[in-house]
Amino acid sequence: MSITVSYRGTYTVKPNTATWTGHLPLSELDQIGTITHVPTIYFYKPPPEWLHPADAIFATLRSSLGRALVPFYPLAGRLRWLEGGRLRLECNATGVSLIEAESEGELDDLGDFSLCPEFEQLVPSVDYTRPIHELPLLLVQVTKFRCGGLTLSFSISHAVADGPSALHFMTEWARIARGERLSVEPYYDRKVLWVGGDPSGAMPPPPPRHLEHSEFNPPPLLIGHTNNLEERKKKTTVAMLRLTKTQVETLKNAANKDRTGHHMRPYTRYETMAAHIWRCACKARKHEPEQPTAVGICVDSRRRLHPPLKLGYFGNATLDVVAASTSGELVSSPLGHASGKIREAIERVTHDHVRSAIEHIRRQPDLTLFQDVHALGSTRGPFYGNPNLGVVSWLTLPIYGLDFGWGREVHMGPGNHDFDGDSLVLPSLDEEGGLMVALCLQIVHMEDFKKFFYEDIVD
């Protein structure tokens, strides 16, 4: 596969009408985790010429983006560093970047759309050598192919929006492009997440003090190592692994094989897949049996809080928790054992746990140790590469059906990820009940991982 992309222009798009300006407080959950941009990409077959002339597509996207930025005005702002590794969001209508590009290739040249290095040309790149207050929070690239097909890709700052919020924006932008009204207004009030208390002076009740937050501890290191610098430098590769509905059901049956009692809920697809990925990674990495290993799990707290967050809450409401074990325990036990570890971690995310975690973060004098800033050239922050990994679920997100007026996508997926241990589980677009796993591992481990990933699917 060979793709050559030429760039026709980069445009700054601002809200069409005046929007609120000022400093929008960021919650503690906005301040930790991934604070760089998260890439996604959508692929579209050539739209019928009578439905949407090719020359009009970019103009439609550009004009509708300006209208979408009116309700979603924080995306047109900029971040600034504050003391202690904290960030502030300045809503100043500086604008977002819209890139127009084209390729002499055809969409069919991409085959089954498996992740490949060429995707980097199709996704907006962010120049992290520039000061953070100069970086757009949203970058969009439209790439037209010779056949008339196109890709639409997004890079959205994770400090401003988590997965549900990013998809909320993308879905509403598509509605606006189709000439429809906004479905759900974005909601920006961070007081619901106890950011320094209510501005009126009322402080929230103190959170429970007895809760532990192992998710903020440094992840395990390889046995015999005193840091992870060597592992961070090793070259990685990415793969998109597909599972049929039958293979998914086989894994779920294996995970639930030894569960007894009507009160025991069967393990979910995510609990099963995260466990399977975890075990296969331990095998592929050839760990010693006593090697400690952890898996990071991203849990959406929106419906776990009392009361739940208002529909349309825009920001970060996810909390990363950790399941831990040893490689020997995982690979020598049935799949359900690892699934149980995953479930235990998820079930810790209660209303009280989230409040306690937010208070824990608020009391930290320096947040840089909690932030994944590897794209900024830092070696601080959590590293979920060897012997660990992270498994993010997109299984319940509305990732498909993004129609800007010329039809739904034929494929969507993450942009390239180059972070060892980074994995993503998403539903298959081709088969109801099937799954896809996007995975980044060190090159030396990937082929063994693929081997175990499919060979270990047994009744």
Residue 68 CA from chain centroid, whole number: 22
Q: What are phi and psi of 96, to 5 degrees?
A: -115, 165
Buried b (16+ CB within 10 A) or exposed e, 171-210: bbbbbbbeeeebeeebbbebebbbbeeeeeeeebeebeee
| pLDDT of amino acid 329 | 98
180 shares its domain with 225 = no
CATH no. for residue 412?
3.30.559.10
In this structure, is residue 205 part of a structural domain? no
DSSP string, 176-199: HHTTPPPSS--B--GGGGTSSS-T
In a domain, 263, yes or no: yes
Whether 151 and 220 map to the same domain: the answer is no
Same domain, 14 and 106: yes
> Which pTM does this prediction carry?
0.92
Cα–Cα dist 131/248, whole Å? 45
Check whether residue 29 and residue 123 sit in a common domain. Answer: yes
* 380 in the same domain as 332: yes
In a domain, 198, yes or no: no
Full DSSP string of 275-307: HHHHHHHHHHTT--TT-EEEEEEEEE-TTTSSS
Q: Looking at the domain assignment, is residue 206 inside a domain?
A: no
Same domain for 60 and 156, yes or no, is yes
The CB-side HSE value for 452 (13 A sphere, CA atoms) comes to 18
For residue 152 the two structure tokens come to 């639409």
Decide if 314 is inside a domain: yes
The residue length of the chain stands at: 459
Per the annotation, the verdict on 456 as an active-site residue is no
Asked if 74 and 188 touch (Cβ cutoff 8 Å), the reply is: yes
> How far is it between the farthest Cα atoms of the chain?
65
Q: Give yes or no: residues 322 and 221 share one domain.
A: yes
Q: What is the pLDDT of residue 237?
A: 92
Of 193, 226, 244, the last residue of a domain is 193
| Whether residue 97 sits in one domain with residue 47 | yes
Q: Is residue 425 within a helix (H) or strand (E), and if so which, with residue range? A: strand 422-427
- Is 32 inside any structural domain? yes
User: What's the gap between Cα 239 and its chain centre?
Assistant: 16
Shared-domain flag, residues 155 and 81: yes
Q: Active-site residue among 37, 158, 276, 445?
A: 158
Amino acid at the residue 283: K
Q: State the DSSP H helix or E strand holding residue 437, giving kind and residue range, or none if neither.
A: strand 435-442
Q: Look at residue 1 in the predicted model and tell me its pLDDT.
A: 56
> What's the confidence (pLDDT) of residue 207?
52
Residues 178 and 127 in one domain: yes
C-alpha to C-alpha distance for 290 and 151, rounded to whole angstroms: 46
Residues spanned by the domain of 272: 215-455
208 in a domain, yes or no? no
SS3 266: coil
Among 11, 122, 120, 123, which residue's Cα sits nearest to residue 61? 11
**Catalytic residue (choose from 109, 189, 403, 418):** 403
Same domain (yes/no): 437, 313: yes
Instruction: Tell me if residue 403 is catalytic.
Output: yes
280 and 338 in contact (C-beta within 8 Å)? no
pLDDT digits (tens), the chain, 459 positions: 567 889 899 999 999 999 999 999 899 999 987 889 999 999 999 887 655 666 789 999 999 999 999 999 999 999 999 988 899 999 999 999 999 999 988 888 888 887 777 788 999 999 999 999 999 999 999 999 998 899 999 999 999 999 999 999 999 999 999 999 999 999 998 887 864 444 444 445 555 555 678 788 889 999 999 999 899 899 999 999 999 999 999 999 999 987 654 447 899 999 999 999 999 999 999 999 999 999 999 999 999 999 999 999 999 999 999 999 999 999 999 999 999 999 999 999 999 999 999 988 988 898 887 787 655 555 556 778 999 999 999 999 999 999 999 999 999 998 876 789 999 999 998 899 999 999 999 999 999 999 999 999 986
User: Domains in the chain: how many in total?
Assistant: 2
Domain shared by 129 and 247, yes or no: no
CB 21 within 8 A of CB 91: yes
